């Protein structure tokens, strides 16, 4: 059974965050921090993982990621960052 992960990255250097989901957090994190050659996260390296949530289905993970990108979800992320 596949497991899906919703993750929040934070770039302390640029005070930016990024929310995404994947079925392979380690490889995705490597991509964001080292291997990727294009995309939004390239400009704001280095990233650190500040939050992860695990789901049994891709649809659940996608729903949670979408929620975290709403106003209420952004407040949740802001509080996470504030408490680092």
pLDDT exceeds 80 at position 34:
yes
State the Cα–Cα distance between residues 57 and 22, nearest whole angstrom: 11
State the Cα–Cα distance between residues 61 and 36, nearest whole angstrom: 22
Nearest 5°: phi and psi at 30?
A: -60, -40
The pLDDT score that the predictor gives to residue 33 is 94
Q: Element (H or E) spanning 55, and its range? A: strand 48-55
Confidence of residue 69 (pLDDT cuts 50, 70, 90): very high
The mean pLDDT of 59-81, rounded to a whole number, is 98
The mean pLDDT of 27-42, rounded to a whole number, is 92
The pLDDT score that the predictor gives to residue 2 is 83
Confidence of residue 9 (pLDDT cuts 50, 70, 90): very high
The mean pLDDT of 55-67, rounded to a whole number, is 98
């Amino acid at each position: 059974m596949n497991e899906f992960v919703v993750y929040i990255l934070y770039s302390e250097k640029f005070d930016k965050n990024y929310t995404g989901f994947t079925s392979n957090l380690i490889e995705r994190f490597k991509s964001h921090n080292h291997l990727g050659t294009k995309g939004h996260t390239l400009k704001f390296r280095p990233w650190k993982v500040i939050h992860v949530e695990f789901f049994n289905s891709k649809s659940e993970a996608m729903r949670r990621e979408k929620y975290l990108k709403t106003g209420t979800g952004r407040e949740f992320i802001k509080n996470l960052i504030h408490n680092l």
